[in-house]
Amino acid sequence: MIPTGGLPVRPLAPRLPSRWLPPAGSVTVSGVSGHPGDSRQMTANPVQQLATYGPEHCETMTVEQARAFCRRLADGRYENFSVLSRLVPRTLRDDFASVYAFCRWADDLGDEIGDADRSLELLAWWRRELERCFDGRPRHPVFVALAPVIARHDLPQSLFDDLISAFEQDQRVRRYETWRQLLDYCSLSANPVGRLVLIMLGEKRQEDVFALGDAICTALQLTNHWQDIRRDMVERDRVYVPSELNPVDRFEERLIASARQGYAVDRTFLPQSRQVVRMLVQRTWQLYERGAGLLDLVSPPSRPLVWLFAAGGQHVLRSIEMWNCETVLHRPKLSRFRKLTLVLQAGLGARLGLFNRNRAR
């Protein structure tokens, strides 16, 4: 097992990357305008760029300009992308940035508009742009960059369609009744990204590989949900805790009241909610464990990156446990130092051969 630098975590069996989108942050760029490829346009929030690269008007770019557009978006919106990309083969870095940009735009069109109906309109437009891309007529810069990536790796359109469907579902479904319904959502929101990553890395398109990857991708998505229970409720009126698994009386009402005052609204809410979150965390660990062994099925060059994404998710899940599963009040997250440490561990593990078959654990 690779040393964890002092953080008490479960053994980190090799894992598959999941929806490696970070929580939607923002890069404040006011009055963004300019020519195609303008650096201010490249790093702006996609929502801020709709006047220039939107449904009504879309500036054209060359493939090289479009690739730079995607690289700058990835570097500007995801502070660790440039660091993580060092573990990606150099010939694949632009490909990863282009797929990231597709996901980032779709995610922001769903979460940053502030109106569900308008988000659905924009996501329908994004799907039309995807269809244009697969028809050989890419227009938007993201798809201009993505088109050669799709051709090079023979990426299936269905995986991109599923991701858009997940963002559309976020606009229509804000509560989940059963665990099965939540897993079905994860099959749209998380698993396609893991499959795209595996395909771009050149791994075998086999169901046993994809099945293990799907288990880990779903675990990573669920980890994010349990990390963001408070924020999803307060900021987006979404509850991913299935009602069939949540016996807490008046959960949403008491959660909102607790969030507003910064501490539990009554003596029983916190212990009750802890019990629910702890149960959800345990179910999520089972999914990580179900996907263990994926590292043995991927090629040696892919193993450090595959390990890294899963290790990050597992560290977050352990952080939730270390915070006593109080995510109705707090949002545990990995520090930049911890993220960089994981990157270094992945690089060191590759150099020392710690990811070789039967030696990773």
Domain CATH number, residue 324 = 1.10.600.10
Q: Does 361 share its domain with 228?
A: yes
At 21, is the pLDDT very low, low, confident or very high (cuts 50, 70, 90)?
very low
Rounded (10°) angle between helices 93-111 and 63-77: 60
Instruction: Return the amino acid letter for 11.
Output: P
Burial tier of 158 (Cβ tally within 10 Å: 0-12, 13-18, 19+)? exposed
134 in any annotated domain = yes
At 351, is the pLDDT very low, low, confident or very high (cuts 50, 70, 90)?
confident
Q: Does 208 share its domain with 355?
A: yes
Residue 88 scores a pLDDT above 90: no
Residue 359 scores a pLDDT above 60: no
Q: Does 238 share its domain with 348?
A: yes
At 43, is the pLDDT very low, low, confident or very high (cuts 50, 70, 90)?
low
> How far apart, in whole angstroms, are the C-alpha atoms of residue 193 and residue 200?
11
Domain boundary among 172, 194, 212: 172
Q: Domain tally for the chain?
A: 2
What are the distances in angstroms from CA 155 to CA 31, 159, 292, 356? 36, 8, 25, 28
Q: Between 51 and 27, whose confidence is greater?
A: 51
> How far apart, in whole angstroms, are the C-alpha atoms of residue 183 and residue 284?
11
Domain containing 156: what range?
16-172
Q: Does 85 share its domain with 159?
A: yes
Q: Does 33 share its domain with 168?
A: yes
63 in any annotated domain = yes
> How far apart, in whole angstroms, are the C-alpha atoms of residue 209 and residue 181?
23
Domain boundary among 119, 151, 172: 172
Question: What average pLDDT score do residues 116-138 get?
Answer: 98
Q: Does 299 share its domain with 168?
A: no
Q: Does 74 share its domain with 148?
A: yes
Residue 16 scores a pLDDT above 60: no
Q: Does 116 share its domain with 42?
A: yes
Question: What average pLDDT score do residues 62-87 get?
Answer: 78
Q: Does 139 share its domain with 278?
A: no
Question: What average pLDDT score do residues 66-95 get?
Answer: 79
Average pLDDT over the chain reads 86
pLDDT of residue 7: 31
308 in any annotated domain = yes
Question: What average pLDDT score do residues 191-218 get?
Answer: 96
238 in any annotated domain = yes
1 in any annotated domain = no
Q: Does 354 share its domain with 218?
A: yes
Q: Does 298 share its domain with 353?
A: yes
Q: Between 120 and 307, whose confidence is greater?
A: 120
Residue 144 scores a pLDDT above 60: yes
Percent of the chain at pLDDT exceeding 70:
84
pLDDT of residue 355: 74
The answer to whether 36 and 141 have CB atoms below 8 angstroms apart is yes
Q: Does 346 share its domain with 293?
A: yes
pLDDT of residue 24: 34
149 in any annotated domain = yes
